[in-house]
Structure 1
Amino acid sequence: MNISVSLENGLLPDRYGKHAPADAMLDGHPCVSFPLSIDDVPEGTRSLALTFLDWDAIPVGGFCWIHWIACNFPAETRCIPENASASGAVPCVQGSNSDWSPLAGSHTDPRIIHRYAGPYPPDKTHDYTLTVYALDCELDLAEGYYLNEFRRAIRGHVLAEASLELPSRA
């Protein structure tokens, strides 16, 4: 399986992160998800899922920051278009990002905490890890699930996975 995301000068375009224009923000949070392409999905795939994580957040905030988790994309999905997280252009079930945490502001608006939350590196360029999973089932997870629940649910069901490092500027 292969995935791709278009970069500008080697970085995730500003529209999808900290330097997004006002119309791509929600209450100060970058909310427009980036488009991505998926190729060579293995036979037998019943659904796709993704995680978008910031491991570079650990020395800054004390934990890996979850920016987007989503599952149950249809198996035939080959393009997840821009703003799919908010628009619902491709059906999926989205989990909780780190903005819900008391360590990150205790936000409660589902449009912020159960959708894409764009990169917002505070100190320097961070490398964000996008991973897409081909699964042999749909996951029995409800909107707002947590990353630990996702990790348990995919055990034994991953047919293939592909990852990209997507740098975003501070």
Structure 2
Amino acid sequence: MRIKVELEDGMLPDRFGKHAPAEYQIDGHAVRSFPIEIEDVPEGARTLALAFVDFDAVPVGGFCWIHWLACNFPADARLIPENASASGEVPCVQGSNSDWSPLAGSHTDPRIVRRYAGPCPPDATHDYTLAVYALDCELDLAEGYFLNEFRRAIRGHVLAKATLELPSRA
């Protein structure tokens, strides 16, 4: 399986992160998700899932920052389109990102905490890790699930995994 995200000058385009225009933000949070192209999904896949995390956040924030969790995309999806997180154009179940945490402001608006949360590196360019999984099942997860629940749910069901490092500027 292969995934592709178009970059601009080697970086995630600004409209998907810290420098997003106001119309792509809610309460100062970038909420417009980037498009993801998907190829060579293995036979037998029933759904696709993704996790978008920032391991570079550990030295500045103390933990890996979760920016987007989503599962139960149709296995035949070859494009998760721009703004899919907010538009609902492609059906999926989305988990909680790190913005709900008391360490990140305890936000409660589901449009912020249960959708895509764009990169916002505070100190320098960060490399964000996108992982897309082809699964042999639909996950029994409710909207707002957490990364630990996601990791347990996919155990033993991953047919293929593709990852990309997506840099985003401070």
Is the partner of 1:82 in helix, strand or coil?
coil
- Partner in structure 2 of residue 100 of structure 1: 100
Residue 48 of structure 1: CA displacement? 0.2
Runs (4+) of structure 1 exceeding 2 A deviation are: none
Which runs of structure 2 are paired with 1:9-88 in the superposition (5 Å)? 9-88=9-88
Provide the identity percentage.
79
Question: 2:138 & 2:36 partners in 1: Cα distance?
Answer: 20
C-alpha RMSD over aligned residues:
0.2
Question: 1:119 & 1:45 partners in 2: Cα distance?
Answer: 29
Q: Is residue 113 of structure 2 the alignment partner of residue 113 of structure 1?
A: yes
Q: Which amino acid aligns with 1:89?
A: E
- Partner in structure 1 of residue 169 of structure 2: 169
Q: Deviations over 1:29-77 (max 9, x none)?
A: 0000000100000000000000000000000000000000000000100
Could you tell me the TM-score, scaled by structure 1's length? 1.00
Q: Deviations over 1:52-108 (max 9, x none)?
A: 000000000000000000000001000000000000010000000000000000000
Which runs of structure 2 are paired with 1:90-169 in the superposition (5 Å)? 90-169=90-169
Q: Which amino acid aligns with 2:31?
A: C
Corresponding pairs, count: 170
Question: 1:20 & 1:72 partners in 2: Cα distance?
Answer: 27
Is the partner of 2:162 in helix, strand or coil?
strand
Structure 1: runs of 5+ lacking an equivalent:
none
Q: Deviations over 1:118-157 (max 9, x none)?
A: 0000000000000000000000000000000000000000
Could you tell me the TM-score, scaled by structure 2's length? 1.00
Is the partner of 2:49 in helix, strand or coil?
strand
Q: Which amino acid aligns with 1:109?
A: D
